[in-house]
Structure 1
Amino acid sequence: MARELARELLEQPLPRRWAHTRGVAEQARSLNELLGEEADLLEAGAWLHDIGYSPTLRDYSADLPITGFHPLDGARYLRLVNVDEALCSIVAYHSGATVEADERGLREELEDAFESPPPHLLEAITYADMTTGPDGTHLPVERRLSEILERYSPDDLVHRSITRSSPELTAAVQAVEKRLAEVG
Protein backbone atom coordinates (compact mmCIF):
# COMPACT_ATOMS: atom_id res chain seq x y z
CA MET A 1 0.00 0.00 0.00
CA ALA A 2 2.71 2.50 0.99
CA ARG A 3 4.81 1.94 -2.11
CA GLU A 4 1.82 2.30 -4.41
CA LEU A 5 0.63 5.47 -2.71
CA ALA A 6 4.11 7.01 -2.87
CA ARG A 7 4.40 6.05 -6.53
CA GLU A 8 1.03 7.63 -7.28
CA LEU A 9 1.96 10.88 -5.53
CA LEU A 10 5.62 11.21 -6.56
CA GLU A 11 6.63 9.24 -9.66
CA GLN A 12 5.16 11.47 -12.38
CA PRO A 13 5.23 14.95 -10.84
CA LEU A 14 8.55 14.52 -8.98
CA PRO A 15 10.72 11.81 -10.60
CA ARG A 16 13.89 12.76 -8.73
CA ARG A 17 12.03 12.71 -5.40
CA TRP A 18 10.66 9.30 -6.43
CA ALA A 19 14.23 8.05 -7.06
CA HIS A 20 15.26 9.30 -3.61
CA THR A 21 12.23 7.63 -2.03
CA ARG A 22 13.06 4.28 -3.65
CA GLY A 23 16.60 4.52 -2.24
CA VAL A 24 15.32 5.42 1.23
CA ALA A 25 13.00 2.39 1.18
CA GLU A 26 15.95 0.20 0.18
CA GLN A 27 17.98 1.55 3.11
CA ALA A 28 15.02 0.94 5.42
CA ARG A 29 14.83 -2.69 4.27
CA SER A 30 18.50 -3.10 5.21
CA LEU A 31 17.38 -2.60 8.82
CA ASN A 32 14.92 -5.53 8.85
CA GLU A 33 17.06 -7.70 11.11
CA LEU A 34 17.61 -4.82 13.49
CA LEU A 35 13.93 -3.85 13.74
CA GLY A 36 12.20 -7.23 13.70
CA GLU A 37 8.43 -6.82 13.80
CA GLU A 38 8.70 -3.04 13.30
CA ALA A 39 10.56 -3.43 9.99
CA ASP A 40 7.41 -3.19 7.87
CA LEU A 41 6.33 -0.02 9.66
CA LEU A 42 9.71 1.58 9.01
CA GLU A 43 9.69 0.57 5.35
CA ALA A 44 6.21 2.04 4.92
CA GLY A 45 7.48 5.24 6.54
CA ALA A 46 10.41 5.29 4.14
CA TRP A 47 8.09 5.00 1.14
CA LEU A 48 5.85 7.78 2.44
CA HIS A 49 8.29 10.14 4.16
CA ASP A 50 8.37 12.70 1.31
CA ILE A 51 4.81 12.57 -0.03
CA GLY A 52 4.21 16.00 1.47
CA TYR A 53 6.15 17.44 -1.49
CA SER A 54 3.53 16.14 -3.94
CA PRO A 55 1.60 18.85 -5.78
CA THR A 56 -1.34 16.41 -5.76
CA LEU A 57 -1.92 17.20 -2.08
CA ARG A 58 -3.22 20.61 -3.16
CA ASP A 59 -6.22 18.76 -4.57
CA TYR A 60 -7.22 18.04 -0.97
CA SER A 61 -6.71 21.61 0.24
CA ALA A 62 -10.32 21.97 1.38
CA ASP A 63 -9.78 19.13 3.87
CA LEU A 64 -6.05 19.55 4.29
CA PRO A 65 -4.45 22.87 5.18
CA ILE A 66 -1.21 22.93 3.16
CA THR A 67 1.65 24.50 5.12
CA GLY A 68 4.50 23.96 2.66
CA PHE A 69 6.27 21.90 5.34
CA HIS A 70 6.39 18.45 3.78
CA PRO A 71 6.57 16.28 6.94
CA LEU A 72 3.45 17.89 8.40
CA ASP A 73 1.59 18.07 5.08
CA GLY A 74 2.40 14.43 4.31
CA ALA A 75 1.37 13.19 7.76
CA ARG A 76 -1.89 15.14 7.63
CA TYR A 77 -2.67 13.66 4.23
CA LEU A 78 -2.00 10.16 5.55
CA ARG A 79 -4.34 10.79 8.47
CA LEU A 80 -6.97 12.07 6.01
CA VAL A 81 -6.79 8.77 4.10
CA ASN A 82 -6.93 6.76 7.36
CA VAL A 83 -3.36 5.55 7.64
CA ASP A 84 -2.17 4.18 10.99
CA GLU A 85 -1.11 6.90 13.47
CA ALA A 86 2.28 5.26 14.08
CA LEU A 87 3.07 5.65 10.40
CA CYS A 88 1.77 9.23 10.38
CA SER A 89 4.12 10.09 13.25
CA ILE A 90 7.17 8.65 11.45
CA VAL A 91 6.37 10.83 8.44
CA ALA A 92 5.65 13.88 10.61
CA TYR A 93 8.92 13.71 12.55
CA HIS A 94 11.40 12.26 10.07
CA SER A 95 14.93 13.61 9.72
CA GLY A 96 15.03 16.58 12.05
CA ALA A 97 11.50 17.77 11.33
CA THR A 98 11.14 19.43 14.73
CA VAL A 99 14.02 21.79 13.97
CA GLU A 100 12.60 22.81 10.61
CA ALA A 101 9.14 23.12 12.15
CA ASP A 102 10.69 25.48 14.68
CA GLU A 103 12.29 27.54 11.88
CA ARG A 104 8.90 27.74 10.14
CA GLY A 105 6.97 28.64 13.29
CA LEU A 106 5.10 25.32 13.07
CA ARG A 107 6.63 23.35 15.94
CA GLU A 108 3.62 23.71 18.23
CA GLU A 109 1.31 22.77 15.37
CA LEU A 110 3.41 19.67 14.63
CA GLU A 111 3.57 18.60 18.26
CA ASP A 112 -0.15 19.23 18.83
CA ALA A 113 -1.09 17.19 15.76
CA PHE A 114 1.21 14.16 16.10
CA GLU A 115 2.97 12.15 18.79
CA SER A 116 6.68 11.69 18.26
CA PRO A 117 7.61 8.14 17.24
CA PRO A 118 9.79 5.99 19.52
CA PRO A 119 13.44 7.13 19.40
CA HIS A 120 14.72 3.96 17.73
CA LEU A 121 12.25 4.35 14.85
CA LEU A 122 13.08 8.04 14.50
CA GLU A 123 16.77 7.13 14.32
CA ALA A 124 16.01 4.42 11.77
CA ILE A 125 14.04 6.68 9.40
CA THR A 126 16.72 9.34 9.80
CA TYR A 127 19.38 6.77 8.92
CA ALA A 128 17.50 5.67 5.80
CA ASP A 129 16.87 9.26 4.64
CA MET A 130 20.21 10.80 5.59
CA THR A 131 22.24 8.08 3.86
CA THR A 132 20.37 8.37 0.55
CA GLY A 133 21.07 11.06 -2.03
CA PRO A 134 18.49 12.80 -4.19
CA ASP A 135 19.01 10.28 -6.99
CA GLY A 136 18.58 7.27 -4.69
CA THR A 137 22.26 6.40 -4.28
CA HIS A 138 23.58 5.54 -0.84
CA LEU A 139 26.18 7.81 0.68
CA PRO A 140 27.69 8.76 4.04
CA VAL A 141 25.64 11.08 6.22
CA GLU A 142 28.28 13.81 6.00
CA ARG A 143 28.01 13.84 2.20
CA ARG A 144 24.21 13.87 2.35
CA LEU A 145 24.21 16.84 4.72
CA SER A 146 26.71 18.69 2.50
CA GLU A 147 24.60 17.96 -0.56
CA ILE A 148 21.51 19.46 1.09
CA LEU A 149 23.41 22.55 2.24
CA GLU A 150 24.79 23.04 -1.29
CA ARG A 151 21.25 23.18 -2.71
CA TYR A 152 20.07 25.98 -0.41
CA SER A 153 21.53 29.42 0.24
CA PRO A 154 22.70 30.13 3.80
CA ASP A 155 19.71 32.41 4.44
CA ASP A 156 17.19 29.73 3.42
CA LEU A 157 15.30 28.12 6.29
CA VAL A 158 16.16 24.61 5.05
CA HIS A 159 19.86 25.51 5.16
CA ARG A 160 19.44 26.90 8.68
CA SER A 161 17.45 23.84 9.76
CA ILE A 162 20.00 21.36 8.44
CA THR A 163 22.82 23.36 10.00
CA ARG A 164 21.06 23.31 13.37
CA SER A 165 20.02 19.65 13.18
CA SER A 166 23.25 18.22 11.69
CA PRO A 167 24.62 17.00 15.05
CA GLU A 168 21.33 15.25 15.85
CA LEU A 169 21.02 13.76 12.36
CA THR A 170 24.63 12.54 12.39
CA ALA A 171 24.20 11.03 15.87
CA ALA A 172 21.06 9.17 14.75
CA VAL A 173 22.84 7.69 11.74
CA GLN A 174 25.84 6.72 13.88
CA ALA A 175 23.60 5.06 16.47
CA VAL A 176 21.98 2.90 13.79
CA GLU A 177 25.35 2.08 12.23
CA LYS A 178 26.62 1.00 15.64
CA ARG A 179 23.61 -1.28 16.19
CA LEU A 180 24.07 -2.73 12.69
CA ALA A 181 27.72 -3.51 13.45
CA GLU A 182 26.73 -5.25 16.69
CA VAL A 183 24.14 -7.40 14.89
CA GLY A 184 26.33 -8.11 11.85
Structure 2
Amino acid sequence: MHGVPSLHELTVSSARSAASELLGGDVRRWAHVQAVARKAAEAARALGPAESELLVLTAWLHDIGYAEPLMGTGFHSLDGAQWLRQQGHERVACLVAHHSCASFEAALRGLSEVMATYPDEGTSVRDLLTYCDMTTGPAGQAMTMDERLADVRKRYGSDGVVTHALQAAREELLRQLTAAERLLADAQPM
Protein backbone atom coordinates (compact mmCIF):
# COMPACT_ATOMS: atom_id res chain seq x y z
CA MET A 1 0.00 0.00 0.00
CA HIS A 2 1.47 3.30 -1.09
CA GLY A 3 2.25 5.74 1.70
CA VAL A 4 1.73 3.16 4.45
CA PRO A 5 4.65 2.65 6.84
CA SER A 6 6.11 -0.79 7.29
CA LEU A 7 6.69 -2.38 10.66
CA HIS A 8 9.49 -4.84 9.99
CA GLU A 9 10.91 -4.32 13.47
CA LEU A 10 8.11 -3.93 15.99
CA THR A 11 8.95 -1.87 19.06
CA VAL A 12 7.00 0.61 21.16
CA SER A 13 8.73 3.39 19.26
CA SER A 14 7.94 1.99 15.80
CA ALA A 15 4.34 1.27 16.83
CA ARG A 16 3.94 4.85 18.09
CA SER A 17 5.45 6.21 14.87
CA ALA A 18 3.19 4.10 12.65
CA ALA A 19 0.11 5.09 14.66
CA SER A 20 1.09 8.75 14.51
CA GLU A 21 1.65 8.60 10.75
CA LEU A 22 -1.61 6.77 10.04
CA LEU A 23 -3.94 8.25 12.68
CA GLY A 24 -2.33 11.56 13.67
CA GLY A 25 -4.46 13.55 11.26
CA ASP A 26 -7.63 12.52 13.11
CA VAL A 27 -7.28 14.67 16.23
CA ARG A 28 -9.94 12.92 18.25
CA ARG A 29 -8.88 9.36 17.36
CA TRP A 30 -5.22 10.25 17.96
CA ALA A 31 -6.08 11.65 21.42
CA HIS A 32 -7.86 8.37 22.24
CA VAL A 33 -4.95 6.23 21.04
CA GLN A 34 -2.40 8.29 22.97
CA ALA A 35 -4.45 8.05 26.17
CA VAL A 36 -4.93 4.29 25.76
CA ALA A 37 -1.17 3.89 25.26
CA ARG A 38 -0.41 6.01 28.37
CA LYS A 39 -2.83 3.90 30.39
CA ALA A 40 -1.24 0.73 29.00
CA ALA A 41 2.21 1.97 30.02
CA GLU A 42 0.90 2.36 33.58
CA ALA A 43 -0.92 -0.99 33.52
CA ALA A 44 2.17 -2.76 32.17
CA ARG A 45 3.52 -2.97 35.74
CA ALA A 46 1.18 -5.94 36.21
CA LEU A 47 3.09 -7.96 33.59
CA GLY A 48 6.59 -9.25 33.00
CA PRO A 49 8.99 -7.22 30.78
CA ALA A 50 8.22 -8.89 27.43
CA GLU A 51 4.46 -8.85 27.99
CA SER A 52 4.66 -5.24 29.21
CA GLU A 53 6.23 -4.11 25.95
CA LEU A 54 3.67 -6.13 23.99
CA LEU A 55 0.79 -4.45 25.83
CA VAL A 56 2.10 -0.94 25.21
CA LEU A 57 2.94 -1.39 21.55
CA THR A 58 -0.42 -3.08 20.93
CA ALA A 59 -2.17 -0.17 22.65
CA TRP A 60 -0.52 2.17 20.14
CA LEU A 61 -1.80 -0.03 17.30
CA HIS A 62 -5.23 -1.12 18.56
CA ASP A 63 -7.17 1.35 16.37
CA ILE A 64 -4.79 1.40 13.41
CA GLY A 65 -7.51 -0.14 11.21
CA TYR A 66 -9.35 3.20 11.21
CA ALA A 67 -6.61 4.57 8.93
CA GLU A 68 -8.08 5.03 5.48
CA PRO A 69 -5.21 3.29 3.63
CA LEU A 70 -5.75 0.14 5.71
CA MET A 71 -9.51 -0.11 5.31
CA GLY A 72 -10.55 -3.34 3.66
CA THR A 73 -13.49 -4.93 5.45
CA GLY A 74 -14.63 -1.61 6.94
CA PHE A 75 -14.23 -3.07 10.44
CA HIS A 76 -11.24 -1.46 12.14
CA SER A 77 -10.27 -4.39 14.37
CA LEU A 78 -9.92 -6.73 11.40
CA ASP A 79 -8.46 -4.15 9.03
CA GLY A 80 -5.73 -3.36 11.55
CA ALA A 81 -5.15 -7.05 12.22
CA GLN A 82 -4.85 -7.83 8.51
CA TRP A 83 -2.21 -5.12 8.06
CA LEU A 84 -0.26 -6.32 11.09
CA ARG A 85 -0.39 -9.92 9.83
CA GLN A 86 0.95 -8.77 6.46
CA GLN A 87 3.82 -7.11 8.37
CA GLY A 88 4.60 -10.45 10.05
CA HIS A 89 3.34 -9.61 13.55
CA GLU A 90 0.87 -12.41 14.18
CA ARG A 91 0.43 -12.11 17.95
CA VAL A 92 -0.14 -8.36 17.79
CA ALA A 93 -2.56 -8.92 14.89
CA CYS A 94 -4.60 -11.33 17.03
CA LEU A 95 -4.64 -8.96 20.00
CA VAL A 96 -5.77 -6.06 17.79
CA ALA A 97 -8.43 -8.25 16.17
CA HIS A 98 -9.91 -9.16 19.56
CA HIS A 99 -9.50 -5.96 21.57
CA SER A 100 -12.63 -4.90 23.43
CA CYS A 101 -14.57 -8.04 22.48
CA ALA A 102 -14.49 -7.21 18.78
CA SER A 103 -15.66 -10.72 17.86
CA PHE A 104 -19.20 -9.66 18.84
CA GLU A 105 -19.14 -6.85 16.28
CA ALA A 106 -17.52 -9.11 13.69
CA ALA A 107 -20.45 -11.51 14.06
CA LEU A 108 -22.99 -8.73 13.52
CA ARG A 109 -21.06 -7.60 10.44
CA GLY A 110 -20.98 -11.13 8.97
CA LEU A 111 -17.20 -11.34 9.48
CA SER A 112 -17.01 -14.24 11.94
CA GLU A 113 -15.14 -16.47 9.47
CA VAL A 114 -12.46 -13.83 8.96
CA MET A 115 -12.28 -13.18 12.72
CA ALA A 116 -11.83 -16.92 13.32
CA THR A 117 -8.50 -16.78 11.47
CA TYR A 118 -7.21 -14.63 14.37
CA PRO A 119 -7.16 -16.76 17.53
CA ASP A 120 -8.17 -14.98 20.73
CA GLU A 121 -5.37 -15.73 23.19
CA GLY A 122 -7.51 -14.83 26.21
CA THR A 123 -4.47 -13.69 28.21
CA SER A 124 -3.82 -10.94 30.71
CA VAL A 125 -2.40 -8.83 27.87
CA ARG A 126 -5.75 -9.03 26.05
CA ASP A 127 -7.67 -8.23 29.25
CA LEU A 128 -5.46 -5.23 30.06
CA LEU A 129 -5.73 -3.93 26.49
CA THR A 130 -9.53 -4.15 26.70
CA TYR A 131 -9.42 -2.42 30.10
CA CYS A 132 -7.29 0.44 28.74
CA ASP A 133 -9.54 0.90 25.69
CA MET A 134 -12.89 0.55 27.45
CA THR A 135 -11.97 3.04 30.21
CA THR A 136 -10.75 5.72 27.78
CA GLY A 137 -13.18 7.93 25.93
CA PRO A 138 -13.07 8.95 22.26
CA ALA A 139 -11.13 12.14 23.02
CA GLY A 140 -8.77 10.50 25.53
CA GLN A 141 -10.79 11.25 28.66
CA ALA A 142 -10.99 8.73 31.51
CA MET A 143 -14.34 6.94 31.68
CA THR A 144 -15.91 3.99 33.42
CA MET A 145 -17.04 1.15 31.20
CA ASP A 146 -20.68 2.20 31.70
CA GLU A 147 -19.84 5.77 30.66
CA ARG A 148 -18.01 4.41 27.63
CA LEU A 149 -21.00 2.28 26.62
CA ALA A 150 -23.33 5.26 27.05
CA ASP A 151 -21.00 7.38 24.91
CA VAL A 152 -21.00 4.73 22.17
CA ARG A 153 -24.79 4.67 22.21
CA LYS A 154 -24.85 8.48 21.92
CA ARG A 155 -22.34 8.54 19.03
CA TYR A 156 -23.58 5.51 17.06
CA GLY A 157 -27.26 5.53 17.99
CA SER A 158 -29.26 2.88 19.80
CA ASP A 159 -29.64 0.89 16.56
CA GLY A 160 -25.97 1.09 15.55
CA VAL A 161 -24.02 -2.13 15.02
CA VAL A 162 -21.30 -0.96 17.44
CA THR A 163 -23.92 -0.28 20.12
CA HIS A 164 -25.55 -3.69 19.63
CA ALA A 165 -22.18 -5.46 19.65
CA LEU A 166 -21.06 -3.85 22.90
CA GLN A 167 -24.43 -4.56 24.52
CA ALA A 168 -24.08 -8.22 23.53
CA ALA A 169 -20.48 -8.24 24.80
CA ARG A 170 -21.26 -6.54 28.12
CA GLU A 171 -20.80 -9.60 30.35
CA GLU A 172 -17.53 -10.59 28.65
CA LEU A 173 -16.29 -6.99 28.80
CA LEU A 174 -17.05 -6.93 32.52
CA ARG A 175 -15.20 -10.23 32.97
CA GLN A 176 -12.13 -8.90 31.16
CA LEU A 177 -12.17 -5.58 33.02
CA THR A 178 -12.57 -7.34 36.38
CA ALA A 179 -9.62 -9.62 35.56
CA ALA A 180 -7.53 -6.59 34.56
CA GLU A 181 -8.48 -4.68 37.71
CA ARG A 182 -7.46 -7.69 39.84
CA LEU A 183 -4.09 -7.84 38.09
CA LEU A 184 -3.54 -4.14 38.67
CA ALA A 185 -4.55 -4.35 42.32
CA ASP A 186 -2.13 -7.25 42.88
CA ALA A 187 0.77 -5.55 41.06
CA GLN A 188 3.39 -3.67 43.00
CA PRO A 189 3.43 0.09 42.35
CA MET A 190 6.21 1.26 40.05
**Same structural fold, with TM-score higher than 0.5 when normalized by the shorter chain:** yes
Q: Is it true that 1:53 corresponds to 2:57 in the alignment?
A: no
Contact 2:106–2:112 (CA under 8 A) maintained in structure 1: yes
Q: Cα distance, 1:156 vs. partner? A: 1.4
Q: Could you list the runs of 4 or more consecutive aligned residues of structure 1 that deviate by over 3 angstroms after TM superposition?
A: none
Unpaired stretches in structure 1, ≥5 consecutive residues: 59-65
Residue 131 of structure 1 aligns with which residue?
135
Aligned length: 174
What is the letter of the counterpart of residue 44 of structure 1? Answer: L
Q: Which one of the candidate residues 41, 45, 48 is aligned to 1:33?
A: 45
2:114 corresponds, among 109, 115, 118, to 109
Q: 1:21 aligns with which of 29, 33, 41?
A: 33
Does 2:89 match 1:76?
A: no
Q: Is the 8 A contact 2:149 2:163 kept in 1?
A: no
Counterpart in the other structure of 1:63: none
Task: Give 1:75 shift.
Answer: 0.7
Aligned match for 1:98, one of 88, 100, 103? 103
CA distance in 1, matches of 2:149, 2:175: 13
1:168-179 → structure 2 map (5 Å cutoff): 168-179=172-183
Q: Deviations over 1:112-164 (max 9, x none)?
A: 2x222243222111001001111112221111121112111222111110111
Q: Which residue of 1 aligns with 2:9?
A: none
Over residues 62-111 of structure 1, what are the superposed CA-to-partner deviations in whole Å (9 max), with x where a residue is unaligned?
Answer: xxxx11011100011112233x2111111111101110011011011111
- What is the match of residue 149 of structure 2? 145
Residue in 2 aligned with 1:11? Answer: 24
* 8 Å contact kept, 1:148–1:159: yes
1:62 aligned partner: none
* 1:87 paired to 2:96: no
**Amino acid of the structure 1 residue aligned with 2:41:** R
Gaps of 5+ in 2: 1-13
Is 2:168 the counterpart of 1:164?
Answer: yes
Cα distance in 1 for partners of 2:130, 2:33 equals 13
Question: 1:30 is paired with a residue of what secondary structure?
Answer: helix
